[in-house]
Amino acid sequence: MQLRTMYKNWSGLKGGYILAFVFFLQANAFSQNIIIPVETQHSALVLQTNSNNNLNIVYLGAKLSDKKEYEAITAQYKQTSEYTGVSNAAYPASGSRNLFEPAITVTHADGNNSLDLQYVRHETKKLDENQSLLTVTLKDPVYDLEVRLFYKTYFKEDVTEQWSEIKHNEKGNVVLHKFASAALYLKAESYWLRQYHGDWAKEMQPEESRLTHGIKTLDSKLGTRTDLFQAPVFMVSLDKPATEEEGTVLYGALEWSGNFRIELELDNQDNLRLLAGVNNHASPYTLKPAEVFTTPAFLSVLSFRGKGGASRQLHAWARNYKLLDGKGDRLTLLNNWESTYFDFNETKLKALLKDTKALGVDLFLLDDGWFANKYPRNNDDAGLGDWQENKTKLPNGIASLVSEAQANDVKFGIWIEPEMVSPRSELYEKHPDWVVKQPNRKEYYFRNQLVLDLSNPQVQQFVFNTVDNLFIKNPKLAYIKWDCNAVVYNAYSAHLTNQSHFYLQYVQGLYAVLQKIRKKYPTVPMMLCSGGGGRVDYAALQYFTEFWPSDNTDPLERIFMQWEYSYFYPAISSANHVTDWGKQPIKFRTDVAMMGKLGFDIVVSKLQEKELRFCQDALKTYNTIKPIIWQGEQYRLQDPVSNAVAAVLYLNEQKTSGVIFNYLVNNRYGAGSERPIRLKGLDPKKRYRLKELNLYPGTTSTIDADKSYTGEFLMTIGYNPDVKAERASVVLELKAE
């Protein structure tokens, strides 16, 4: 370089020349050595040790066919001076030379705050045909502290999971002030971040903007239902905003259901440092000698085929490896939350079980309000924690409902919110020390309730027993909706001696319970719900078959929301219910809910004859197309923000069958599908027919089902679904001849 550049930059400073020269000499006293490429089908992350034996990221981008050429990459960059040799560190440490945001900050046993991580060794294990695990060990040359970095790759899906382990053998405890899961380093001309914010009923609101210099932080400090205001998922396009099919884009997601912190730092060299991990807010961790601190995983997928390419890779990965029963079946259901709220009894529910059968879904889901006696759960201000059937509402218990369900040939599922407690509950009276609250402060409630202290093993056992008892008493119970409605206020655990460990150990406690439940009940479907969509991430989804995106089921809103969720989560995991939210007719509502796992939450007995018939037929249709929606590849064709008509295609792997959902999302005069919508992913040579599904009784389709088109035509010219005010929602089946 660098001598000249360094001199130029430092010449304004007194003595700058000498400083620069010393650094230059020192840097060259060591030779460059180890290169570790972490490759997937299309991408490569290249790690390299520098002259000081620090491990750096020298490349993250498209894979090169000749691995040897990775060595030549660095020399091609003529950026401004790099002063420290660690600004692109694989795991930036603080307190020695690093000048940027660290992944790790510690105070050693002797009170010293410095850390320098140097390469010791690495090994790569091939776990199977598709998965490999690289482990790199780094160590401080002065202190006996070691960090192991893990890179697990899923070759075909282009997904990498990264996490780290921190361990020491010092003569006392080490305090970890920061402990990120992963660091990445990107080089591009510009970086475009797509991030998500929200609130109740407004989950997954996107914002896309160019990153400017400095640090952009996406984080949560809510303790539980941590996605309420911000989601732990994001994407960064390189050089220009990626479109659905074009551009380079990196998706990132932290696999953690608690406080998270994702930082994107655009530095002086115009490179982007990305750090992701558990939020260190109020959480310094005291690490004992020989104790291993393991961070959760951060996943990323790098696509060179736009946002659509990345999401299809991620969906495949989720179904193959992460989401519980990702390749399996799901149950359609009728939920009673919005049709009864807390106001029901056995007679009313038995009638709903008949409606469940009449509608044609697989399962009836009994929601909130079935439990607690001393403080009956007739409102949201009492009873949480007292998981015994309410004797007034259900004198014969859940058991009689389960057998009544069986008599009606439907399955039975139930709502619980086991992490929570109402101030007015027997549980609170008996175990005030199980409740998260400050001993000397006034209680403060979120939805009139408090959170149980899951860092306490007794509470973990209680939560496990809540679920276990339900199954022991009702072995035929077929589904659980697991809710989590409150955030953590006044974080304090009567169980923990170190309060700084609370946020972390709460989540670890939650996972311990879920693991225990899954050990005993490995397959029972469970919905991850959180007062709407306040909790969804890939750590939790290992234990759940589906998640609840939002309490907002207005279909128009859902078109936008499901669109955004669909970048990160496959359709099979999205629980979509037809409700009375919104102004659209039942057909529109049902069509939208079909783009995922379909359910209903309506008063079936109040449906008009045609409405009921429509729903019954739609369910039959759904049963035939659900394999394509759940397991097929998703192509977002036209987005609802910039078009009057939004369209999404699900296509099977063989490219022989597909379903296209089209919706009018604009009310202006004459709005509709003026131009054809170009399909994607088809075989250009195959001929396809399009047939309209989900027709409302008494209407006829304007689509000619006898005509066929080549894949080339449908992808080049497109197809007009004839969406207009009178046909605001059009579902088309695509079949190769």
Q: How far apart are CA 561 and CA 580, in angstroms?
A: 17
CB of 520 vs ligand GLA, minimal distance in Å: 24
Q: Residue 40 or residue 390: which is nearer to ligand GLA going by CB?
A: 390
Stretch 399-418 residues interacting with ligand GLA (CB under 6 A) = 415
With contacts defined by CB under 6 A, name the span among 147-155, 181-189, 514-522, 524-532 that binds ligand GLA.
524-532
Q: How far apart are CA 612 and CA 359, in angstroms?
A: 7
From the list 143, 196, 260, 337, which residue makes contact with ligand GLA (rule: CB under 6 A)?
337
From the list 398, 529, 572, 618, which residue makes contact with ligand GLA (rule: CB under 6 A)?
529
* Residues binding ligand GLA: number (CB under 6 A): 12
Q: Are 479 and 488 in contact (CB under 8 A)?
A: no
Stretch 415-434 residues interacting with ligand GLA (CB under 6 A) = 415
CB of 369 vs ligand GLA, minimal distance in Å: 8
- Using DSSP, state whether 329 is helix, strand or coil: coil
* Strand segments (E) across 140-259: 145-154, 159-168, 174-179, 182-187, 191-197, 205-210, 214-219, 233-238, 248-254
With contacts defined by CB under 6 A, name the span among 208-216, 529-537, 553-561, 714-722 that binds ligand GLA.
529-537
CB of 595 vs ligand GLA, minimal distance in Å: 19
Question: What is the 8-class DSSP label of residue 542?
Answer: G
With contacts defined by CB under 6 A, name the span among 68-76, 239-247, 526-534, 628-636 that binds ligand GLA.
526-534
- List Cβ neighbours of 253 (8 Å cut-off, separation of 6 or more): 232, 233, 234, 298, 299, 300, 537, 538, 568
From the list 326, 531, 599, 681, which residue makes contact with ligand GLA (rule: CB under 6 A)?
531
With contacts defined by CB under 6 A, name the span among 77-85, 211-219, 525-533, 662-670 that binds ligand GLA.
525-533
Q: Does 729 bind ligand GLA (CB under 6 A)?
A: no
CB of 695 vs ligand GLA, minimal distance in Å: 30
CB of 344 vs ligand GLA, minimal distance in Å: 13
With CB atoms as reference, the residue minimizing the distance to ligand GLA is 368
Question: What is the 8-class DSSP label of residue 573?
Answer: G
Residue (of 559, 539, 552, 606) closest to 579 by Cα position = 552
Tokens found for residue 355? 């409606």
Q: Residue 101 or residue 483: which is nearer to ligand GLA going by CB?
A: 483
Q: Does 61 bind ligand GLA (CB under 6 A)?
A: no
Distance of CA 471 to the CA centre of its chain: 28
CB of 486 vs ligand GLA, minimal distance in Å: 11
Q: How many residues does the chain have?
A: 737
With contacts defined by CB under 6 A, name the span among 296-304, 347-355, 464-472, 528-536 that binds ligand GLA.
528-536
Q: Residue 415 or residue 502: which is nearer to ligand GLA going by CB?
A: 415
CB of 372 vs ligand GLA, minimal distance in Å: 13
Q: Residue 272 or residue 421: which is nearer to ligand GLA going by CB?
A: 421
Q: How far apart are CA 160 and CA 132, in angstroms?
A: 10
Output b/e per residue, 441-457; b: 16+ Cβ within 10 A: eeeeebbebbbbbbbbe
Q: Does 483 bind ligand GLA (CB under 6 A)?
A: yes
CB of 380 vs ligand GLA, minimal distance in Å: 6
Q: Residue 203 or residue 263: which is nearer to ligand GLA going by CB?
A: 203
Q: Does 376 bind ligand GLA (CB under 6 A)?
A: no
Q: Are 241 and 192 in contact (CB under 8 A)?
A: yes
From the list 101, 355, 419, 551, which residue makes contact with ligand GLA (rule: CB under 6 A)?
551
Q: Does 532 bind ligand GLA (CB under 6 A)?
A: yes
Q: Are 495 and 433 in contact (CB under 8 A)?
A: yes
For the chain, how far is it from start to end, CA to CA, in angstroms? 62
Q: Does 367 bind ligand GLA (CB under 6 A)?
A: yes
CB of 109 vs ligand GLA, minimal distance in Å: 46
Burial class (CB in 10 A: 0-12, 13-18, 19+), 11: exposed
Helix H or strand E segment including 627: helix 609-631
Residue (of 565, 560, 564, 609) closest to 586 by Cα position = 609
Residue (of 63, 62, 58, 64) closest to 304 by Cα position = 62
Q: Residue 181 or residue 336: which is nearer to ligand GLA going by CB?
A: 336
Residue (of 654, 605, 646, 628) closest to 730 by Cα position = 646
Q: Residue 529 or residue 586: which is nearer to ligand GLA going by CB?
A: 529
In this structure, which amino acid lies at residue 485?
A: N
CB of 193 vs ligand GLA, minimal distance in Å: 29
Q: Residue 548 or residue 688: which is nearer to ligand GLA going by CB?
A: 548
Output b/e per residue, 644-665; b: 16+ Cβ within 10 A: bbbbbbbbbeebbbbbbbbbbb
Stretch 576-635 residues interacting with ligand GLA (CB under 6 A) = none
With contacts defined by CB under 6 A, name the span among 433-441, 506-514, 527-535, 613-621 that binds ligand GLA.
527-535
Q: Residue 577 or residue 636: which is nearer to ligand GLA going by CB?
A: 577
Q: Are 552 and 579 in contact (CB under 8 A)?
A: no
Only one residue has tokens 């990196």, namely 250
Q: Does 485 bind ligand GLA (CB under 6 A)?
A: yes
Q: How far apart are CA 354 and CA 410, in angstroms?
A: 9
Q: Residue 295 or residue 552: which is nearer to ligand GLA going by CB?
A: 552
Q: Residue 80 or residue 345: which is nearer to ligand GLA going by CB?
A: 345
Q: How far apart are CA 304 and CA 247, in angstroms?
A: 6
Q: Residue 203 or residue 733: which is nearer to ligand GLA going by CB?
A: 203
CB of 530 vs ligand GLA, minimal distance in Å: 7
State the CB neighbour count (10 A cutoff) for residue 172.
12
Q: Residue 267 or residue 551: which is nearer to ligand GLA going by CB?
A: 551
Q: What share of the chain is helix, strand, coil (3-state, %, to 5)?
A: 25, 30, 45
DSSP 480-496: EEE-------S---SS-
Only one residue has tokens 């128009």, namely 556
From the list 368, 564, 633, 733, which residue makes contact with ligand GLA (rule: CB under 6 A)?
368
Q: Residue 287 or residue 416: which is nearer to ligand GLA going by CB?
A: 416
The torsion angles phi and psi of 622, rounded to 5 degrees, stand at -55, -40
Q: Which residues bind ligand GLA (CB under 6 A)?
A: 337, 367-368, 380, 415, 483, 485, 529, 531-532, 548, 551
